[in-house]
Each structure stands twice: as C-alpha cells, then as structure tokens.
Amino acid sequence: MASPTPIAPAQKITTESLRGSLGFLLRVAQLRSFGHFFAVLGDEEVRPGEATVLDLIRENPGIRQGMVSKTLKIKRAQMSKMIREMEREGLVARAVPEDDRRAIELRLTKEGEAMIAGITARFPEIERRTQAALTPAEGAELRRLLIKLNGLDKTKGEDSDDPDDER
Amino acid sequence: MASPTPIAPAQKITTESLRGSLGFLLRVAQLRSFGHFFAVLGDEEVRPGEATVLDLIRENPGIRQGMVSKTLKIKRAQMSKMIREMEREGLVARAVPEDDRRAIELRLTKEGEAMIAGITARFPEIERRTQAALTPAEGAELRRLLIKLNGLDKTKGEDSDDPDDER
DNA sequence: TGTTATTTGTTTCCTAGTAGACAAAATAAA
DNA sequence: TTTATTTTGTCTACTAGGAAACAAATAACA
C-alpha cells in the first residue's frame, strides 16, 4: 500500500548529471523491468535470463549453446551453469551433434515447452507494466532506438564497435 | 582488430521475441554502456557505480548515505560496503550529524574531488560512444523516453508503480 | 512518561555473474 | 602427415550484489 501522504524527502538534492547519464538511465530502467518480471512471474521458479534462454531455444530448436551465449550476451561460463541446471530440472535436453563433437545442441523437453509457454503467455503483461508510463507510440519508439543503439538492426557482418564483443 | 571478413554465423537463428522484449533490449544496452565506461576509464580504479556515487556526493555535499541509496537505486547493504571502501581509499569522508546520530553525511575529500573531476571530464566521451549509433536527436529522445519511463520527470510525491520501490 | 514502530546503517550469508585456465575437438598451416 | 591455432564447453576461483537479521537512534503513541 502506498502511503496516503508520501513522506517528503528529507533533503533536496540535485541530480543534474544523473539525468544526462545514459548508463544510469539504462540501469534504472533495467532494474524496473526486472522488478516487473518478478512482480508478474515471481511465483514461477525461473529467472529473467532463464526465461529468455528457454524462449530462444523454443524459437530455434537445436541451437548451439555458444550461439545462445552470443545472441543473449551471456558469458559462456554462466551459460554452461545455467544449461546444466535446466537440464537437471528436466527443462532442456542437450545433444552432441555428429559433425562437431565439441558443440552442444539444445532442445526443450515437454516440460520445458510447457514451462516457457506458461511464461511467454505473461510476457505481454510484463511489457505492458514496464512501459506503462509511456504512450504506445513512445514505447514503440523506445524499442526502435534501443534496437538501433544495440546494433541489432544491422542484418549482419557490420563492423561493430561493441566493447563487449569478444571475438 | 576486426576480422577483414567477419566470420559468418554458423547458424541462422530467429530472434523474434527478443526484439520485442524491452527487458532484453535494456539489458544489452546497459552492458554496452558499461563496456564503454571501461573502455574509456578502464585504467582508473573506479567502477561505474562508484563513479556515480562520487559524482552525486560532489553535487550534494553532506548528502546522507540513505539518500544516495534511494537516488541511485543501490541497496543499502551494497552502499554501506561501497562507502566504507571509498573512505578507506581516502575518497570520501563520513560524518554523523548532530540532529540524527543514526545517519551519515557524506563529503568528498581532496583526493575524492580530484578523482571525480578526472573521471567526469571523460563522461562525455563515454556518452558519445554509447550513443554513437544514434543521431543526436535520437540520443536526446532516448534520454527523454528513459527519464519518463523511469518516472524521473515527476517532480515528487506521485504514486509510483515501481516494483523496486522499498518503503 | 514509558512503550511500540520506524528509520538508518551494518553485518552475515547466499546467489548470479565474471575472469582465466583448462581439455577436447576441429581447423589451418607446415 | 604433423604441428600449430582456433573454437567450444567446462571448471575453479573471485567479485558484485541482494536478502534477511540485527543494533542503535529516532519518532509515534498510549
């Protein structure tokens, strides 16, 4: 319950440079979106990262673990842990392809399918809450700008200035 | 150095739902902005969060630790650790105000002033790199949308639907 | 006044995520 | 072929951050 009379802040502070900092704005926005995720799906035993991974595997059955890593910008070490845990939980099946015995192909189990189906069904609600403060047009524009900012609009092969780009 | 001929991805994958996910887009954008921070300030022994804290204290000498927490959405536990470490490093001075002996007022030391001055001087370069893919107008619009999304435009006292809002 | 609630910062324990080294497999180069 | 080089996933620390319990101080209240 929100206080009927919100407590007045004890201090007046200036946040000049904060609003100018894209990094800060992005961090806060991401914190909020995580918060909305847990507000809607807190009862499910899945974290945001796992949900994204499951969804990507659903869309691309047989996708290789490394490709999931690169696509979602999740470090390989972390990916390894996550996948093994989800395998243990019976959500994901791992298979070594014959043409490359280093790699691992990922597919969802029945349980995984059911799990991600129940989750993605509530994605729209999360999105709705996340951008509740924006008009629909603004929400769409925000997405477009973020996609462009992230270089996800380039089809492929472009030179990236991504500092996290590990090749 | 970027490969002259970028390696073709081993698999064609679809990322339908990824582009629709504001959470994912925000996470990637934030990762990139962190990457640019370290690309520009990697030699400094300061992390993004610490830089933001120092900058906020510089703007608001005597600000209370809890207010820094709330403003920057950093949990109190983490804040406590961070401040104590920066005090140990001689960047920040802590003082207990007479009117409330629970609280702690924060100020920068000479060293802290010098440190943050050197850092903020390079903030524009970080920002420039972060939004390099956008036109100036788009960069400004992105900021505006994020500020609105985060509810930072409301002057105060509004009812927030922020799930991370801890009162 | 005493008594209960709330605020403020800290501490302890735990988890998510990272860096770096590693082994196995595949590829390139000799 | 043999020998390097690269890729792929894993493992072992290590670090940042979060949750919950806590003590001290303050505020609210009977």
CATH of the domain at A96: 1.10.10.10
Q: Which residues contact B63 (CB under 8 A, 6 or more apart)?
A: A11, A13, B56, B57, B105, B106
Share of chain A above pLDDT 70, in %: 86
Q: Looking at the partner chain, which of B130, B156, B162 has a beta carbon nearest the beta carbon of A23?
A: B130
A138-152, B95-109, B119-133, B151-165 — which is least confidently predicted? Answer: B151-165
The answer to whether position B5 is within a domain reads: no
pLDDT at A10: 45
Closest CA to A9 of B64, B26, B124, B96: B64
> In the predicted model, what is the mean pLDDT of residues A134-158?
87
B78 touches chain A (CB under 8 A): no
- As given in the structure block, the two tokens for residue A43 are 């009862």
pLDDT at A2: 34
Note the CA–C1' distance, A77 to D14, in angstroms: 14
Mapped onto helix, strand or coil, the DSSP state of residue B79 is helix
Q: How many domains does chain B have?
A: 1
B164 touches chain A (CB under 8 A): yes
> In the predicted model, what is the mean pLDDT of residues A11-27?
83
The answer to whether position B102 is within a domain reads: yes
Which of chain B's residues have a Cβ under 8 Å away from the Cβ of A8? 156-157
Across the interface, whether the CB atoms of A19 and B152 are under 8 A apart is answered yes
Across the interface, whether the CB atoms of A15 and B159 are under 8 A apart is answered no
CA distance B90 to B63: 17
Which of chain B's residues have a Cβ under 8 Å away from the Cβ of A28? 73, 146, 150, 152
Sign, CA dihedral B55-B56-B60-B66, equals negative
The answer to whether position B17 is within a domain reads: no
Do the strands B105-108 and B92-95 form a parallel or antiparallel pair, or are they unpaired?
antiparallel
A29-72 tens-digit pLDDT: 999 999 999 999 988 889 999 999 999 999 999 999 999 999 99
Q: Which amino acid is at B68?
A: V
User: Which run of H or of E encompasses B106?
Assistant: strand B105-108
Laid out side by side, the sheet with A63-64 consists of A63-64, A105-108, A92-95
pLDDT at A106 over 70: yes
A121-130 tens-digit pLDDT: 999 999 999 9
- Chain D positions with a protein C-beta closer than 7 Å: 7-13, 16-21, 24-27
The answer to whether position B11 is within a domain reads: no
Question: Which of the two residues, A12 and B2, has the higher pLDDT score?
Answer: A12
Q: How far is CA A12 from the centre of its chain?
A: 35
The answer to whether position A166 is within a domain reads: no
Q: How far is CA B24 from the centre of its chain?
A: 18
User: Which run of H or of E encompasses B105?
Assistant: strand B105-108
pLDDT band at B6 (very low <50, low <70, confident <90, very high): very low
User: Which run of H or of E encompasses B93?
Assistant: strand B92-95
Q: What does A34-85 look like in DSSP terms, one character per residue?
A: HHHHHHHHTTSS--HHHHHHHHHHHHSTTEEHHHHHHHHT--HHHHHHHHHH
A105 beta partners: A64, A95
The answer to whether position A3 is within a domain reads: no
Domain containing residue A77: 25-149
Which of chain A's residues have a Cβ under 8 Å away from the Cβ of B26? 26, 29-30, 33, 146
Residues B116 and B54: beta-carbon distance below 8 Å:
yes
Q: Is the CB of A1 under 7 A from strand C?
A: no
Q: Which nucleotide is nearest to B75 (CA to C1')?
A: D18
The answer to whether position A135 is within a domain reads: yes
Give Cα separations from B77 to A57, A85, B65, B73, B111 (angstroms). Answer: 36, 29, 11, 12, 25
Q: Looking at the partner chain, which of B6, B38, B139 has a beta carbon nearest the beta carbon of A157?
A: B6
Give me the residues of B, 7-66, that contact A with CB < 8 A: 7-11, 13-39, 48, 52, 55-56, 59-60, 63-64
> In the predicted model, what is the mean pLDDT of residues A4-8?
34
- Chain C positions with a protein C-beta closer than 7 Å: 7-12, 16-21, 24-27
The answer to whether position B8 is within a domain reads: no
Could you say which DSSP state residue B151 is in?
T
